[in-house]
A = this chain, B = another copy of it.
Amino acid sequence: MSVNKVILVGNVGKDPEVRHLDSGVAVANFPLATSESYTAKNGERVTTTEWHNIVLWRGLADVAEKYVTKGRQLYIEGRIRTRSYDDKDGNKRYITEIYGDSMQMLGTKADNQGGGTQSSQASQQASTPTFNEPEIEEPAGDDDLPF
């Protein structure tokens, strides 16, 4: 029917917060910054930063919990989702989030080690793999398309 796709390369603003729903499903939240620079009319170089609310589910949330840390450069592919909630005064408010379907750690080991040891299995792998969210609509054995 349609396409709702977001591609971001940016830097993590804070370590992820990871919650576990009653169902056991993990959800991770963290801000990701992208920035744009342009030269204003007066010749000055201006940089603006955009903050994206990243939401990751299940396996990707687990990955985030293990490998995503403040400052890290990430590639995120996902979709836009705006949801409403009631604020403390009972007013309806909206928040737009990016549900990540795929994530990449960017940069090489050097960037991503902090104090970690080079031989750490985790930190070594953190610099490489792509992580994909299995698509929710596609059950195992999806050959019997419902349309």
Q: Which of B27, B128, B134 sits near A135, CB closer than 8 Å?
A: B134
Q: Is A104 an interface residue (CB 8 A)?
A: yes
Interface-centre pick from A41, A75, A130, A145 (highest chain B CB count, 10 A)? A145
Q: How many residues of A contact B (CB 8 A)?
A: 72
Q: Is A2 an interface residue (CB 8 A)?
A: yes
With both chains docked as a complex, state the minimum distance between the C-beta of A132 and any C-beta of chain B, in angstroms.
5
Q: Which residues of A contact B (CB under 8 A)?
A: 1-11, 21, 23-25, 27, 33-39, 41, 45, 50-52, 57-59, 62-63, 73, 75, 77, 79-82, 91, 93-96, 98, 104, 106-108, 110-111, 125, 128-132, 134-147
